[in-house]
Structure 1
């Protein structure tokens, strides 16, 4: 069922679709960070520690403020709708579980345990968003007396950094190096070629299909200039490559490292300057 079918007004449909897109972005970045942490754990202790710290920072910066804002703004309104009390109480309980998982992740001194907690956080967060996308948001959009665009604007304002615009400014290279899930070497992705452990890998075969492309895009968005990421997929990701070129034209050079039949491996390198995308064998 489409958002237009569910919404009571066109502006509600637009707001609902924007909220779902934002949820996909959050879930995609979380899935990408967790996948990289799982890959690094047991293989590169230094890289895993950086990925662990970056994941906690992402949760503090985006995931937890987002859940808190929705609990403060959306849930009280949704609770007043018919037959929603138990649903909202369940979601509030899940918010508490998400916060507890982030705290456990923050305090974990064992990287293997941290990876397990990160995976549990990802699974619960995706299930949580599925309930909001499939139940809470459509109910709010269908209610004629609920100003859904205004409510979602309030959520966005509450989650934006104090004094900052609601649309985030582009991150600098220095900021990327500080909180970058792919920054695994001591050179900080400077392009000197001194990667002792090789490029990080993102295996999207373990990422739910609904957020797979969002996961790749959000992970590539954090990649510093001259750094590289290896993508592992179960098929040739031609549609993803086309979407990436449409979204970020000329930004990434792409090289095939393996072409099936069991898996496809591609290296994405963030170019220093825009140019024509190259896809090499």
Structure 2
């Protein structure tokens, strides 16, 4: 995702709703990135590939697909009110169908390697899809004075995750995740480089990725500065059980190992 556009909303409530949806999008993308990386690592090291595959499928069927359905029931009809957005909405729905087909492939491919390839394809497709969601669909709805985006999504967990309409609440750690807690450490540690992630959704992306880390697991974070405010938020999300080990402290790159207690 390379989007960081400002959305001009008809009301302050709609602007908050846009932020909440974008943050949930970032969390989903971060979680998918972590889980698909874990599946690829498991295939490459021949360790617990089926466990990693199950974790991916559980999250996609439990969170991503319901999110897509909720969009088609609320956001897309609101956007399609505008004639110039109808073709875009149709293309977005078509992408949802391709994503659903990839979820089916991840679950049912006989070869774990093929499943991992389908996971990587889904991740790439979803990241591109979010650019259209965030920068084209949401601005159309939020800018329409005859549509209340905040009213349309109020109370809809599948669209907002654990975010309130104001976007002030963080998601519960580990919600919807399935992770192996066997304690094995042979597989490579996942790396999340946030330097190219837009600032507005950077923290949410990290939250999504770290929520998929099991107890005792580690996420390697790469940043362009010392992410002290982010670390404070992660400590709160983990009830103080976060362990931080700096592998590199600038001047241009900070590299940290974040371990869940």
State TM-score, norm by structure 1: 0.74
Is 1:18 equivalent to 2:10 in the alignment?
no
Listed as ranges, the gaps of 5+ residues in structure 1 are 161-166, 190-194, 272-281
Counterpart position of 1:192 = none
Deviation at 1:39, TM superposition (A): 2.4
Deviation at 1:97, TM superposition (A): 0.5
Q: 1:265 to 1:43 in 2, by over 3 A?
A: farther
Deviation at 1:24, TM superposition (A): 0.9
Q: Pairwise CA RMSD of aligned residues?
A: 3.3
Aligned 1:80-95 pairs, distance under 5 A: 80-95=81-96
Counterpart position of 2:226 = 238
Counterpart position of 2:154 = 153
Deviation at 1:57, TM superposition (A): 0.3
Deviation at 1:230, TM superposition (A): 4.5
Rg comparison, structure with higher value: 1
Listed as ranges, the gaps of 5+ residues in structure 2 are 162-168
Is the CA contact 1:69–1:158 (under 8 Å) kept in the aligned structure 2? yes
Cα distance per residue 1:56-86 (max 9 Å; x no partner): 0000100000001111222122112131111
Counterpart position of 1:65 = 66
Aligned 1:110-259 pairs, distance under 5 A: 110-153=111-154, 155-156=156-157, 170=172, 179-180=178-179, 183=180, 188-189=182-183, 195=184, 197=186, 200-205=188-193, 209-210=197-198, 213-225=203-215, 227-231=216-220, 233=222, 238-239=226-227, 241-249=228-236, 250-256=240-246
Is the CA contact 1:141–1:148 (under 8 Å) kept in the aligned structure 2? yes
Alignment size in residue pairs: 245
Counterpart position of 2:34 = 32
State TM-score, norm by structure 2: 0.80
